[in-house]
Amino acid sequence: MTWPERIILSAYLLAGVVTWLLFIFVMVKGRKRMTLLHRPGFSLPPDPPLISVLVPARDEAGQIEQCLQSILRQDYPRFELVVIDDRSTDGTGEILDRMAAGDRRIKVVHLTHRELPQGWGGKSYALHQGLSQAAGQWLLFVDADVQLEPDVLSQSLAVAVKREFDLVSLLPRFVGADFWERLLQPLAGAATSAMFLIALTNSNESKVAFANGQFLLVKRAAYDAVGGHEAIRGTLSEDVAVARRLKAAGFRPRLGWADGWASVRMYAGLGEVFRGWSRNFYVGSLGRPWRILGLLAFLAVCWLSMFVAAAWGIARPSAAWLTAAGAHFAAMTWALVLMYRWSGNPWWNALLFPIGAAVLVAISVKALWICATGKVQWRGTTYTRGTLRQA
């Protein structure tokens, strides 16, 4: 093997093997840093504060009742539930009114006007309206497709008070009902984690801040101090924007895994997964393409290069290149097996990475197209770059 070939092989080993091993190291460290809740955990303070749980719901008739029942089963002693019917047309409002009639803890806010005020994202506006009915010292924002375990609210508040956190946001476990959901949801979630360096949220020294609106518990005083949802009304990634504003103002946001504490089925089937995650990549990047392009570069260097190395080793033939490609495959598969096992999905999905990665590339390309056009559909509303003020 000539010196140029050895240099190329060494570069390939760095990109294809060392990068995946480093990725595993970061995954393990990040998971440890983001494990906030434990059983048994901290005790609640002697006089637990009132928590207002706010749930925005737009055309959620198929799952809103299960979500609210999981909230009503919380063992936390003092909470109220404010549900915002955000212009639903599928019977969601009727379900909410029926449930409110049977439980005095539920307040329903109906938004009836069809058009949003200019410059507002739909979810931000719904939550902003719901806050008029919220009296809690702490606020918990929960999405309508989330299922909570009975002790998650108590433990989240206990951790926040004990460790003096101003925000505790959790990443629920993905629930997949079909092959595509189980294959793609953990993969897209891991891609988001890598693109936004989410584990650094829990470092006071880092400026990185991330939150997940599926479960976001925030101290009311801190939330009001940074302007609440009104201050970030023009962004569709309102959860991340709140966390960034809090951290920039000197508050302490934290992000944690919710394995065994909360679950969510975000999208049903391949079509919804594709459309939903392409929007998420665009919105999370605030309409800028650089993080998405970085993901595509990662896939090209750290995945596709394996096939090139294997083909080169067969064509030569070269034991060194074949061995390097095998080591690349082993390191990559190890990382993927950990990812799928931690998400509660079959580990053997790791062996289907070529399929999952191909769809992930297509999702990224779709997100880049949205960046180029500046036009995105979200919950039945069309947003353009000119109608939103990105935070």
94-133 pLDDT, tens digit per residue, is 999 999 999 999 999 999 877 788 888 888 999 999 999 9
In total, the chain counts a number of residues equal to 391
| pLDDT single digits (tens) 235-284 | 888 999 999 999 999 999 999 999 889 999 888 889 999 999 998 898 88
What domains lie within the chain, and their CATH numbers? 3-31+288-373 (no CATH), 39-178+196-268 (3.90.550.10)
Q: Are residues 50 and 79 in contact, defined by beta-carbon separation less than 8 angstroms?
A: yes
Q: What is the pLDDT of residue 14?
A: 85
Write down the pLDDT at residue 1: 62
Quote the pLDDT of residue 379.
Answer: 65
The confidence score (pLDDT) of residue 378 equals: 66
Q: Residue 67 and residue 90: Cα distance in Å, rounded?
A: 17
- pLDDT in the model for residue 391: 37
Residue numbers of the chain with a pLDDT score lower than 70 = 1, 378-381, 385-391
With H, G, I as helix, E, B as strand and everything else as coil, classify residue 54. strand
3-state secondary structure 235-278: CCCHHHHHHHHHHHCCCCEEEEEEEEEEEECCCCHHHHHHHHHH
pLDDT value of position 162: 95
CA distance 86 to 64: 12
Give me the pLDDT at residue 390, please: 43
| Cα 210–Cα 66–Cα 132 angle in degrees, nearest 5 | 60
